[in-house]
Chain A
Amino acid sequence: MAEVEEQLPLSPQDGGRGECGEEPSDGGAAVGVAEAVPPSAGSPVTEEPAEDTKKKIDVLLKAVGDTPIMKTKKWSVERTRTIQGLVDFIKKFLKLVASEQLFIYVNQSFAPSPDQEVGTLYECFGSDGKLVLHYCKSQAWG
Protein backbone atom coordinates (compact mmCIF):
# COMPACT_ATOMS: atom_id res chain seq x y z
CA MET A 1 0.00 0.00 0.00
CA ALA A 2 1.56 3.27 -1.08
CA GLU A 3 2.57 5.60 1.72
CA VAL A 4 0.93 8.99 1.73
CA GLU A 5 3.51 11.32 0.18
CA GLU A 6 2.16 14.47 1.74
CA GLN A 7 2.27 15.10 5.45
CA LEU A 8 -0.76 13.73 7.21
CA PRO A 9 -2.95 16.78 7.15
CA LEU A 10 -4.60 16.33 10.50
CA SER A 11 -3.23 17.96 13.57
CA PRO A 12 -4.34 16.84 17.01
CA GLN A 13 -5.92 19.24 19.40
CA ASP A 14 -5.41 17.91 22.86
CA GLY A 15 -1.82 17.07 23.47
CA GLY A 16 -1.51 13.73 21.67
CA ARG A 17 0.97 13.69 18.82
CA GLY A 18 -0.33 12.36 15.55
CA GLU A 19 1.98 10.86 13.02
CA CYS A 20 2.37 14.21 11.35
CA GLY A 21 4.76 16.81 12.56
CA GLU A 22 2.16 19.54 12.57
CA GLU A 23 1.55 21.47 15.71
CA PRO A 24 -1.59 20.87 17.67
CA SER A 25 -4.03 23.70 17.32
CA ASP A 26 -4.64 25.82 20.37
CA GLY A 27 -6.83 24.56 23.11
CA GLY A 28 -9.63 23.09 21.19
CA ALA A 29 -12.05 25.31 23.02
CA ALA A 30 -15.16 25.41 20.95
CA VAL A 31 -16.25 28.78 19.72
CA GLY A 32 -19.73 29.07 21.07
CA VAL A 33 -21.93 28.59 18.03
CA ALA A 34 -24.87 26.50 19.19
CA GLU A 35 -25.52 25.16 15.73
CA ALA A 36 -24.38 25.97 12.24
CA VAL A 37 -26.69 28.85 11.39
CA PRO A 38 -26.91 30.18 7.88
CA PRO A 39 -26.82 33.92 7.33
CA SER A 40 -30.35 35.22 6.82
CA ALA A 41 -31.30 36.18 3.30
CA GLY A 42 -30.52 39.80 2.78
CA SER A 43 -27.33 39.78 4.79
CA PRO A 44 -24.27 41.19 3.03
CA VAL A 45 -23.21 39.07 0.12
CA THR A 46 -19.68 37.78 0.25
CA GLU A 47 -17.57 35.97 -2.27
CA GLU A 48 -15.82 33.23 -0.32
CA PRO A 49 -12.24 34.42 0.21
CA ALA A 50 -9.40 32.09 -0.80
CA GLU A 51 -8.19 31.74 2.80
CA ASP A 52 -11.35 29.90 3.78
CA THR A 53 -10.35 26.82 1.86
CA LYS A 54 -7.03 26.74 3.70
CA LYS A 55 -8.62 27.15 7.10
CA LYS A 56 -9.10 24.11 9.23
CA ILE A 57 -12.20 22.87 10.91
CA ASP A 58 -12.53 20.88 14.11
CA VAL A 59 -13.54 17.26 13.87
CA LEU A 60 -14.52 15.01 16.77
CA LEU A 61 -14.17 11.32 16.04
CA LYS A 62 -16.36 8.86 17.94
CA ALA A 63 -16.06 5.08 17.77
CA VAL A 64 -19.13 2.92 17.32
CA GLY A 65 -19.62 -0.56 18.71
CA ASP A 66 -16.42 -2.53 19.25
CA THR A 67 -14.37 -0.40 16.89
CA PRO A 68 -11.12 0.65 18.56
CA ILE A 69 -11.23 4.09 20.12
CA MET A 70 -8.76 6.72 18.94
CA LYS A 71 -6.60 8.00 21.79
CA THR A 72 -6.83 11.45 20.27
CA LYS A 73 -10.39 12.24 19.34
CA LYS A 74 -10.29 15.91 18.42
CA TRP A 75 -8.51 16.94 15.26
CA SER A 76 -8.01 20.05 13.18
CA VAL A 77 -8.63 19.12 9.58
CA GLU A 78 -8.28 21.13 6.39
CA ARG A 79 -11.64 21.92 4.85
CA THR A 80 -10.68 20.27 1.58
CA ARG A 81 -9.74 16.98 3.23
CA THR A 82 -12.05 14.26 1.87
CA ILE A 83 -13.84 11.56 3.80
CA GLN A 84 -11.59 9.01 2.06
CA GLY A 85 -8.56 10.91 3.31
CA LEU A 86 -9.99 10.82 6.81
CA VAL A 87 -10.72 7.08 6.52
CA ASP A 88 -7.14 6.41 5.44
CA PHE A 89 -5.84 8.46 8.33
CA ILE A 90 -8.00 6.72 10.95
CA LYS A 91 -7.07 3.29 9.58
CA LYS A 92 -3.40 4.18 9.81
CA PHE A 93 -3.77 5.63 13.30
CA LEU A 94 -5.65 2.56 14.52
CA LYS A 95 -3.23 0.28 12.67
CA LEU A 96 -6.04 -1.35 10.70
CA VAL A 97 -5.26 -3.38 7.61
CA ALA A 98 -5.89 -1.42 4.41
CA SER A 99 -8.38 -4.01 3.23
CA GLU A 100 -10.50 -3.62 6.36
CA GLN A 101 -13.58 -1.50 5.84
CA LEU A 102 -14.25 1.64 7.82
CA PHE A 103 -17.54 3.52 7.65
CA ILE A 104 -17.98 7.15 8.60
CA TYR A 105 -21.32 8.65 9.59
CA VAL A 106 -22.62 12.17 9.98
CA ASN A 107 -25.39 12.87 12.53
CA GLN A 108 -25.50 9.11 13.15
CA SER A 109 -27.69 8.95 10.06
CA PHE A 110 -25.84 8.95 6.74
CA ALA A 111 -22.51 7.89 5.33
CA PRO A 112 -21.10 10.67 3.14
CA SER A 113 -19.47 9.88 -0.20
CA PRO A 114 -15.69 9.20 0.00
CA ASP A 115 -14.99 12.27 -2.13
CA GLN A 116 -17.07 14.58 0.07
CA GLU A 117 -15.08 17.42 1.63
CA VAL A 118 -15.19 17.76 5.43
CA GLY A 119 -15.49 21.54 5.06
CA THR A 120 -18.84 21.19 3.31
CA LEU A 121 -20.05 18.68 5.91
CA TYR A 122 -18.99 21.07 8.66
CA GLU A 123 -20.91 23.94 7.02
CA CYS A 124 -24.09 21.90 6.86
CA PHE A 125 -23.89 19.56 9.83
CA GLY A 126 -21.44 21.09 12.26
CA SER A 127 -22.54 22.11 15.76
CA ASP A 128 -20.81 23.79 18.69
CA GLY A 129 -17.98 24.74 16.35
CA LYS A 130 -17.13 21.18 15.32
CA LEU A 131 -18.13 18.32 13.08
CA VAL A 132 -18.87 15.10 14.94
CA LEU A 133 -18.18 11.97 12.93
CA HIS A 134 -18.85 8.42 14.03
CA TYR A 135 -16.66 5.68 12.62
CA CYS A 136 -17.29 1.96 12.55
CA LYS A 137 -15.74 -1.20 11.11
CA SER A 138 -19.18 -2.46 10.12
CA GLN A 139 -22.26 -0.70 8.77
CA ALA A 140 -23.98 1.00 11.69
CA TRP A 141 -26.73 3.10 10.21
CA GLY A 142 -27.04 1.62 6.73
Chain B
Amino acid sequence: MTDDKDVLRDVWFGRIPTCFTLYQDEITEREAEPYYLLLPRISYLTLVTDKVKKHFQKVMRQEDVTEIWFEYEGTPLKWHFPIGLLFDLHASNTALPWNITVHFKNFPEKDLLHCTSKDVIEAHFMACVKEADALKHKSQVINEMQKKDHKQLWMGLQNDKFDQFWAINRKLMEYPPEDSGFRYIPFRIYQVTTERPFIQKLFRPVATNGQLNTLGDLLKEVYPAAITPEDGEKKNQVMVHGIEPMLETPVQWLSEHMSYPDNFLHISIIPQPTD
Protein backbone atom coordinates (compact mmCIF):
# COMPACT_ATOMS: atom_id res chain seq x y z
CA MET B 1 0.00 0.00 0.00
CA THR B 2 1.49 3.32 -1.08
CA ASP B 3 2.30 5.59 1.79
CA ASP B 4 0.98 9.13 1.63
CA LYS B 5 4.56 10.29 2.07
CA ASP B 6 5.41 8.81 -1.32
CA VAL B 7 3.17 11.45 -2.86
CA LEU B 8 5.43 14.13 -1.43
CA ARG B 9 8.39 12.62 -3.29
CA ASP B 10 6.46 12.16 -6.51
CA VAL B 11 5.48 15.82 -6.43
CA TRP B 12 9.01 16.98 -5.59
CA PHE B 13 10.75 14.96 -8.28
CA GLY B 14 8.32 15.67 -11.14
CA ARG B 15 10.12 16.81 -14.26
CA ILE B 16 9.09 18.27 -17.62
CA PRO B 17 11.24 17.57 -20.69
CA THR B 18 11.78 20.95 -22.29
CA CYS B 19 13.41 22.20 -25.47
CA PHE B 20 14.68 25.78 -25.39
CA THR B 21 15.07 27.55 -28.72
CA LEU B 22 16.49 31.02 -29.24
CA TYR B 23 14.06 33.52 -30.73
CA GLN B 24 14.81 33.88 -34.43
CA ASP B 25 15.18 37.68 -34.33
CA GLU B 26 17.93 37.58 -31.72
CA ILE B 27 21.25 38.54 -33.28
CA THR B 28 23.76 35.72 -33.20
CA GLU B 29 27.29 35.26 -34.41
CA ARG B 30 26.73 31.56 -35.05
CA GLU B 31 23.79 29.22 -35.40
CA ALA B 32 22.14 28.64 -32.03
CA GLU B 33 21.40 24.99 -31.31
CA PRO B 34 18.32 24.22 -29.21
CA TYR B 35 19.01 23.26 -25.59
CA TYR B 36 17.26 20.36 -23.89
CA LEU B 37 16.61 20.27 -20.16
CA LEU B 38 14.42 18.41 -17.64
CA LEU B 39 12.70 21.16 -15.65
CA PRO B 40 11.61 20.54 -12.06
CA ARG B 41 7.87 21.12 -11.79
CA ILE B 42 8.22 22.59 -8.32
CA SER B 43 10.82 25.21 -9.16
CA TYR B 44 10.94 28.53 -11.02
CA LEU B 45 12.22 29.18 -14.55
CA THR B 46 14.84 31.74 -13.61
CA LEU B 47 16.16 29.49 -10.85
CA VAL B 48 16.94 26.50 -13.06
CA THR B 49 17.97 27.96 -16.41
CA ASP B 50 21.51 29.24 -15.83
CA LYS B 51 22.78 26.61 -18.27
CA VAL B 52 20.25 27.70 -20.87
CA LYS B 53 21.41 31.29 -20.56
CA LYS B 54 25.08 30.31 -20.83
CA HIS B 55 24.38 28.12 -23.84
CA PHE B 56 22.78 30.90 -25.88
CA GLN B 57 25.05 33.67 -24.67
CA LYS B 58 27.94 31.72 -26.20
CA VAL B 59 26.66 32.55 -29.69
CA MET B 60 25.67 36.14 -28.99
CA ARG B 61 27.54 39.39 -28.57
CA GLN B 62 27.68 40.70 -25.03
CA GLU B 63 25.95 43.97 -26.01
CA ASP B 64 22.94 42.13 -27.43
CA VAL B 65 22.23 40.35 -24.16
CA THR B 66 19.88 41.93 -21.66
CA GLU B 67 17.56 40.20 -19.21
CA ILE B 68 16.51 36.71 -20.30
CA TRP B 69 12.81 35.94 -20.62
CA PHE B 70 10.81 32.98 -21.83
CA GLU B 71 7.80 32.62 -24.03
CA TYR B 72 5.52 29.79 -25.13
CA GLU B 73 3.57 30.20 -28.39
CA GLY B 74 3.63 33.96 -28.05
CA THR B 75 2.74 34.06 -24.36
CA PRO B 76 5.43 35.43 -22.05
CA LEU B 77 5.96 32.94 -19.22
CA LYS B 78 5.79 34.41 -15.73
CA TRP B 79 8.93 33.23 -13.97
CA HIS B 80 7.28 33.82 -10.59
CA PHE B 81 4.73 31.08 -11.28
CA PRO B 82 6.03 27.55 -10.57
CA ILE B 83 7.13 25.68 -13.69
CA GLY B 84 4.60 22.87 -13.22
CA LEU B 85 1.77 25.40 -13.07
CA LEU B 86 2.95 27.11 -16.27
CA PHE B 87 3.15 23.78 -18.07
CA ASP B 88 -0.23 22.49 -16.86
CA LEU B 89 -1.87 25.77 -17.76
CA HIS B 90 -0.37 26.28 -21.21
CA ALA B 91 0.91 23.00 -22.58
CA SER B 92 -0.23 19.94 -20.66
CA ASN B 93 -2.17 18.44 -23.53
CA THR B 94 0.43 19.02 -26.20
CA ALA B 95 3.20 16.69 -27.31
CA LEU B 96 6.46 16.66 -25.37
CA PRO B 97 9.01 18.17 -25.23
CA TRP B 98 7.67 21.50 -24.08
CA ASN B 99 8.96 24.02 -26.61
CA ILE B 100 9.99 27.27 -24.97
CA THR B 101 11.40 30.25 -26.84
CA VAL B 102 14.23 32.21 -25.25
CA HIS B 103 14.51 36.00 -25.58
CA PHE B 104 17.19 38.48 -24.60
CA LYS B 105 15.59 41.64 -25.99
CA ASN B 106 12.33 43.59 -25.74
CA PHE B 107 11.44 42.56 -22.21
CA PRO B 108 7.62 42.64 -21.97
CA GLU B 109 7.23 45.07 -19.07
CA LYS B 110 3.46 44.74 -18.95
CA ASP B 111 3.46 40.97 -18.66
CA LEU B 112 6.48 40.01 -16.64
CA LEU B 113 8.21 40.96 -13.42
CA HIS B 114 11.93 41.56 -13.59
CA CYS B 115 14.22 38.94 -12.13
CA THR B 116 17.62 40.51 -11.75
CA SER B 117 19.08 37.99 -9.30
CA LYS B 118 18.41 34.84 -7.30
CA ASP B 119 17.61 37.10 -4.33
CA VAL B 120 14.49 38.26 -6.13
CA ILE B 121 13.32 34.67 -6.53
CA GLU B 122 14.07 33.92 -2.89
CA ALA B 123 12.16 36.99 -1.74
CA HIS B 124 9.16 36.04 -3.87
CA PHE B 125 9.24 32.41 -2.71
CA MET B 126 9.45 33.34 0.96
CA ALA B 127 6.65 35.90 0.60
CA CYS B 128 4.41 33.14 -0.78
CA VAL B 129 5.35 30.80 2.06
CA LYS B 130 4.52 33.56 4.54
CA GLU B 131 1.23 34.34 2.87
CA ALA B 132 0.31 30.64 2.94
CA ASP B 133 1.08 30.44 6.65
CA ALA B 134 -0.93 33.57 7.31
CA LEU B 135 -3.89 31.60 5.94
CA LYS B 136 -3.05 28.27 7.58
CA HIS B 137 -1.86 29.35 11.01
CA LYS B 138 -2.28 33.14 11.31
CA SER B 139 1.48 33.22 10.63
CA GLN B 140 2.21 31.62 14.01
CA VAL B 141 4.29 28.73 12.70
CA ILE B 142 6.39 30.72 10.22
CA ASN B 143 6.99 33.49 12.77
CA GLU B 144 8.13 31.03 15.44
CA MET B 145 10.82 29.73 13.11
CA GLN B 146 14.30 31.16 13.11
CA LYS B 147 15.78 32.90 10.11
CA LYS B 148 18.00 29.88 9.50
CA ASP B 149 14.89 27.69 9.13
CA HIS B 150 13.50 30.06 6.49
CA LYS B 151 16.86 29.89 4.74
CA GLN B 152 16.75 26.10 4.84
CA LEU B 153 13.43 26.07 2.98
CA TRP B 154 14.94 28.20 0.24
CA MET B 155 18.21 26.26 0.07
CA GLY B 156 16.31 22.97 -0.05
CA LEU B 157 14.34 24.23 -3.05
CA GLN B 158 17.33 25.82 -4.77
CA ASN B 159 19.52 22.73 -4.38
CA ASP B 160 16.77 20.17 -4.97
CA LYS B 161 17.18 18.66 -1.50
CA PHE B 162 13.90 16.99 -0.53
CA ASP B 163 14.93 15.99 3.00
CA GLN B 164 16.49 19.36 3.80
CA PHE B 165 13.32 21.11 2.62
CA TRP B 166 10.81 18.86 4.36
CA ALA B 167 12.70 18.87 7.67
CA ILE B 168 11.34 22.40 8.02
CA ASN B 169 8.26 22.30 5.80
CA ARG B 170 6.67 19.48 7.82
CA LYS B 171 6.14 22.03 10.61
CA LEU B 172 4.14 24.19 8.22
CA MET B 173 1.94 21.16 7.53
CA GLU B 174 1.00 20.58 11.17
CA TYR B 175 -2.10 21.82 12.94
CA PRO B 176 -3.38 21.81 16.56
CA PRO B 177 -4.66 18.36 17.62
CA GLU B 178 -8.04 19.83 18.55
CA ASP B 179 -8.55 21.03 14.94
CA SER B 180 -9.10 18.83 11.91
CA GLY B 181 -6.94 20.92 9.65
CA PHE B 182 -5.58 24.33 8.81
CA ARG B 183 -7.49 27.54 9.47
CA TYR B 184 -7.86 28.26 5.75
CA ILE B 185 -6.45 26.44 2.72
CA PRO B 186 -3.87 28.34 0.64
CA PHE B 187 -4.96 27.83 -2.96
CA ARG B 188 -5.02 29.66 -6.29
CA ILE B 189 -7.11 28.69 -9.30
CA TYR B 190 -5.84 29.68 -12.73
CA GLN B 191 -7.39 29.70 -16.15
CA VAL B 192 -5.80 30.99 -19.36
CA THR B 193 -8.98 32.33 -20.84
CA THR B 194 -10.02 34.73 -18.08
CA GLU B 195 -8.96 38.32 -17.50
CA ARG B 196 -8.28 37.89 -13.80
CA PRO B 197 -4.88 36.51 -12.84
CA PHE B 198 -6.21 33.86 -10.43
CA ILE B 199 -8.93 33.15 -7.90
CA GLN B 200 -7.87 33.14 -4.25
CA LYS B 201 -10.41 33.23 -1.44
CA LEU B 202 -10.84 32.16 2.15
CA PHE B 203 -11.89 28.53 2.34
CA ARG B 204 -12.01 26.29 5.39
CA PRO B 205 -10.90 22.66 5.14
CA VAL B 206 -13.65 21.59 7.54
CA ALA B 207 -17.34 22.40 7.19
CA THR B 208 -19.45 23.62 10.09
CA ASN B 209 -20.84 20.13 10.52
CA GLY B 210 -17.31 18.76 11.03
CA GLN B 211 -17.04 17.04 7.65
CA LEU B 212 -13.91 17.50 5.59
CA ASN B 213 -14.46 19.77 2.60
CA THR B 214 -13.46 18.27 -0.73
CA LEU B 215 -11.95 19.63 -3.93
CA GLY B 216 -15.46 19.52 -5.36
CA ASP B 217 -16.75 21.61 -2.46
CA LEU B 218 -13.99 24.15 -3.05
CA LEU B 219 -14.84 24.49 -6.73
CA LYS B 220 -18.57 24.71 -6.02
CA GLU B 221 -17.85 27.59 -3.69
CA VAL B 222 -15.32 29.63 -5.64
CA TYR B 223 -15.59 28.51 -9.26
CA PRO B 224 -18.72 26.48 -9.95
CA ALA B 225 -18.32 26.81 -13.72
CA ALA B 226 -15.39 24.37 -13.49
CA ILE B 227 -17.61 21.50 -12.39
CA THR B 228 -19.34 19.28 -14.92
CA PRO B 229 -23.11 19.37 -14.42
CA GLU B 230 -24.88 16.05 -13.68
CA ASP B 231 -25.94 15.26 -17.21
CA GLY B 232 -23.57 17.55 -19.01
CA GLU B 233 -20.43 17.04 -21.00
CA LYS B 234 -17.07 17.40 -19.26
CA LYS B 235 -15.66 20.66 -20.56
CA ASN B 236 -12.71 21.21 -18.20
CA GLN B 237 -9.87 19.44 -16.51
CA VAL B 238 -9.05 20.45 -12.95
CA MET B 239 -5.32 19.84 -12.80
CA VAL B 240 -2.66 19.83 -10.10
CA HIS B 241 0.88 18.63 -10.86
CA GLY B 242 -0.22 17.19 -14.15
CA ILE B 243 -3.03 15.01 -12.78
CA GLU B 244 -6.73 15.41 -12.14
CA PRO B 245 -7.35 14.60 -8.48
CA MET B 246 -10.74 13.09 -7.72
CA LEU B 247 -13.21 15.80 -6.72
CA GLU B 248 -13.95 13.75 -3.58
CA THR B 249 -10.41 14.36 -2.29
CA PRO B 250 -10.38 16.34 0.96
CA VAL B 251 -8.72 19.73 0.39
CA GLN B 252 -6.88 19.34 3.69
CA TRP B 253 -5.16 16.25 2.26
CA LEU B 254 -4.44 18.04 -1.01
CA SER B 255 -2.98 20.99 0.86
CA GLU B 256 -0.68 18.75 2.91
CA HIS B 257 0.44 16.52 0.06
CA MET B 258 0.11 18.35 -3.24
CA SER B 259 1.02 21.91 -2.45
CA TYR B 260 4.02 23.39 -4.17
CA PRO B 261 7.06 24.26 -2.00
CA ASP B 262 5.52 27.70 -1.50
CA ASN B 263 2.74 25.87 0.40
CA PHE B 264 0.07 26.90 -2.10
CA LEU B 265 -2.17 24.54 -4.05
CA HIS B 266 -1.86 25.93 -7.59
CA ILE B 267 -4.81 24.56 -9.56
CA SER B 268 -5.22 24.86 -13.33
CA ILE B 269 -8.56 24.78 -15.09
CA ILE B 270 -7.92 23.83 -18.69
CA PRO B 271 -10.13 22.75 -21.58
CA GLN B 272 -10.89 19.04 -21.76
CA PRO B 273 -8.83 17.70 -24.64
CA THR B 274 -10.85 16.25 -27.51
CA ASP B 275 -9.02 13.06 -28.35
Chain A contacts to B: CB under 8 angstroms: 36-43, 45, 47, 53, 80, 106-107, 109-115, 117, 120, 123-125, 142
Among candidates B123, B135, B143, B150, residue contacting A124 with C-beta atoms closer than 8 Å: B135
Counted as pairs of residues, one from A and one from B, with CB atoms less than 8 Å apart, the total is 73
**Is the pair B113, A45 in contact by a Cβ cutoff of 8 Å?**
no
Pair B207/A112 contact, Cβ less than 8 Å: no
Size category, B interface: 20 to 34
Partner of A110, one of B130, B198, B204: B130
**Shortest beta-carbon distance, A84 to chain B, in Å?**
9
**Contact across chains for A42 and B207 when beta carbons are under 8 A apart:** yes
A114 to B197, CA, bound (A): 12
With a cutoff of 8 Å between Cβ atoms, the chain A residues found around residue B184 in the complex are: 38, 124
9 contacts between A and B (CB under 8 A): A41-B204, A47-B225, A80-B196, A106-B131, A109-B134, A110-B127, A111-B123, A113-B113, A124-B200
A38 touches B127 (CB 8 A): no
Closest 9 CB pairs of A and B: A110-B130, A38-B202, A41-B207, A109-B139, A110-B131, A110-B127, A45-B224, A40-B208, A120-B200
Neighbouring A residues of B200 by C-beta, 8 Å: 120, 123-124
User: What is the bound-complex CA distance between A38 and B198, given in angstroms?
Assistant: 18
**Given A41-B204, A41-B217, A124-B202, A115 and B197 contact (CB-CB distance below 8 Å):** yes
User: Which residues between 213 and 244 of chain B lie within 8 Å of chain A, taking CB atoms?
Assistant: 213, 217, 220-221, 224-225
Q: Could you tell me if A115 and B134 are in contact, using CB atoms closer than 8 angstroms?
A: no
